[in-house]
Chains A and B, each alone.
Chain A
């Protein structure tokens, strides 16, 4: 019988620095994985933390990590060639089939861009698989912007708005919260457009509200929930909302289900 708690060692293939406190660690991994799924990443002594997959490559997965806690702080001391312990992938992740053949709008706040990066990456590379791709992503300041190179590369295939909450004087890009850009967003197919919203709880709440105001159907909106998870496999109880285990049934939910997750 498989012991799910035992992690495996994975080598750090590449470290990509986005900001002073946010790096992407490209890790060796062979196996099926979907955007929006997560791994329990650990360093003995410091413990485990659930980290969502921000990219899927040939024999690698990307983990974009913000240095905010005990575990992540220590991970930042690791470099190419070092190893981390992983277990997973866990959670349902985003099913690309739900978006294929449709217009796709993604709204991401801060590190919320990580779990949806795989979706954007896919449709940016396979433009013919969707009927239009839009990304609105928000960060606190211009210094906090993640995946800058990707944002440039995706611009050919997608309409991209990168907004910052606060900007220094003279900043020329869009400013304000992501919600500011939804009322005037051009949506071609109001009936079938698939909207993906990921970010801090308060951001998701108000962003979804803006789309509902515009008449987007609940069943065409998708969210991803973030919760404390100690096991990732339906045992430890920390992620439970009502009768739903975020680690098992989520973290990705269609809004018709996601709206019922009250806590």
Chain B
């Protein structure tokens, strides 16, 4: 079951919803690309369908809405702390199927791995996800092999079709506002094949850390961490204290958490000088195995959702999907 309505009517509803929710969707930022005269597609706030770029994969994922790049946890003086306020509005986020699957990974880390995370839960509870279908696969996507190409756990599905929009789902604030509608059957657009294929060997084990397959990354990777930052499932952060001195000379400041990358120098550094995984190849191993091996051992399904953003963003043209496809040979090498 679903509905068809005019985009104008849906826009009026979105405008109304934006009083209660910040609406986030992939948007074109004209002239803001890496190179001159190029554009960039990233998440931003919108109030109408026309502002949304449904055609291009966003460079960054939605994740900064749930876990901001830099998030103030609390403010402090020398002997007091005050919890930072959360966003007043809820959030409506337009996502593709892969990213909707990524939300499940974030939920498992932030809500089920040890204590529930106060800050994540606070915003997550007020967030609704609107699925945007994929009429075709992008070159670097491998969602089909990761099993994330289809999803049914959206709050709503919206597809723009000329002057009309197709809607499905049970997001009450949206559905109850629909007036001029025609009831139609709506099935979300999902891709069923990708150009990029990956094969995760069944015999994969931690022993692969000793394979020579990681050596090429010692040479190629520049440890910039972009792959982690664009990844919709990377959740690591580091604590950071920001300090300011008040006019009364009293110390005050705030504690923040900021995104961290397992590829960047310093990730494992301990006070006193010990650190681990000095080789960039071994950092690649750590990341790749987390995404397609050890997260699954812990949670029962693979972390990687196959969005391919890491492949799109790497300045050294390192391909994560190509690396997955080398694991099979790597295991052969180890098992002799």
Contacts and interface: CB of A to CB of B under 8 A. Distances in A.
A263 B276 contact: yes
Given A44-B255, A72-B271, A230-B239, A238 B294 contact: no
Contacts of A228: 267-270
Contact of B113 (A7, A200, A248): A248
Interface in B255-276: 255, 257, 260, 262, 267-274, 276
Interface stretch (B15-23, B32-40, B116-124): B116-124
A262 B282 CA distance: 12
A78 B236 CA distance: 31
B240 interface: yes
Interface string B62-86: 0000000000011011110101000
Interface in A37-85: 42, 44-49, 66, 68-72, 83, 85
Contact of B241 (A4, A45, A236, A245): A45
Contact of B239 (A200, A231, A237, A247): A231
A46 B276 CA distance: 23
Dominant SS among interface residues on chain B? mixed
Nearest to B112: A234
B190 interface: no
B79 A234 contact: no
B113 A45 contact: no
A234 B115 contact: yes
Label chain A's interface by main secondary structure. loop
A216 B191 CA distance: 57
A5 B271 contact: no
B243 A44 contact: yes
10 contacts: A1-B118, A2-B115, A3-B118, A226-B274, A228-B270, A233-B115, A233-B117, A242-B206, A242-B294, A263-B209
Interface of A: 1-7, 9, 42, 44-49, 66, 68-72, 83, 85, 200-201, 226-228, 230-231, 233-238, 240, 242-243, 245, 247-248, 260, 262-263
In the A-B complex, list the 9 residue pairs whose CB atoms are closest, starting with the nearest.
A234-B114, A69-B271, A237-B236, A243-B294, A3-B118, A45-B243, A234-B113, A243-B297, A68-B272
Given A47-B239, A230-B238, 9 more contacts: A5-B255, A9-B79, A45-B253, A68-B273, A228-B268, A228-B269, A234-B109, A237-B262, A245-B113
